[in-house]
């Protein structure tokens, strides 16, 4: 099946630094990718929709200046958490929509971010 690669799987950083997370669709071109945040024992919360070649669409309440999204190619989207703080510590998951497979969303393995 379709594969989405997410990197890194885990990152620990100091408060105030920025962290970049990459999401790649490995065997299909994804014009649309999604970034989710998952709190412990909670469901997925959509943060933004990443559109190739255009600006991301952020969900209400998500700071676009804090969570920078770039979708530079049909196979890569990046999420940069700028000036990270401990409250940004979370599990971030990306997914990519496969237009050739009923638009099913395939997910990356997730990135666990810990901000000290």
Partner 1 sequence: AQKITQTQPGMFVQEKEAVTLDCTYDTSDPSYGLFWYKQPSSGEMIFLIYQGSYDQQNATEGRYSLNFQKARKSANLVISASQLGDSAMYFCAMRAINTGGFKTIFGAGTRLFVKA
Residues that bind partner 1 (CB under 8 A): 1, 32, 34, 42-44, 46, 49, 91, 93, 95, 97, 102-110, 112
Q: How far is the CB of 50 from partner 1 (least distance, A)?
A: 11
- Whichever of 11 and 82 has its CB closer to partner 1, that residue is 11
Rounded Cα gap, residues 53 and 45, in angstroms: 24
The token pair that represents 76 in the structure block: 């890569």
Q: Which is nearer to partner 1, 27 or 83 (CB)?
A: 27
């Amino acid at each position: 099946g379709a594969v989405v690669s997410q990197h890194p799987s885990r990152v620990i950083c100091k408060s105030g630094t920025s962290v970049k997370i990459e999401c790649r669709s490995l065997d299909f071109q994804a014009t649309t990718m999604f970034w989710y945040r998952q709190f412990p024992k909670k469901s997925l919360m959509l943060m933004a929709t990443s559109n190739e070649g255009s600006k991301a669409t952020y969900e209400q309440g998500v700071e676009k200046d804090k969570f920078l999204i770039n979708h530079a190619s049909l196979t890569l989207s990046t999420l940069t958490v700028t000036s990270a703080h401990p409250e940004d510590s979370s599990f971030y998951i990306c997914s990519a929509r496969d237009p050739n497979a009923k638009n099913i969303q395939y997910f990356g393995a997730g990135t666990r971010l810990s901000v000290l």
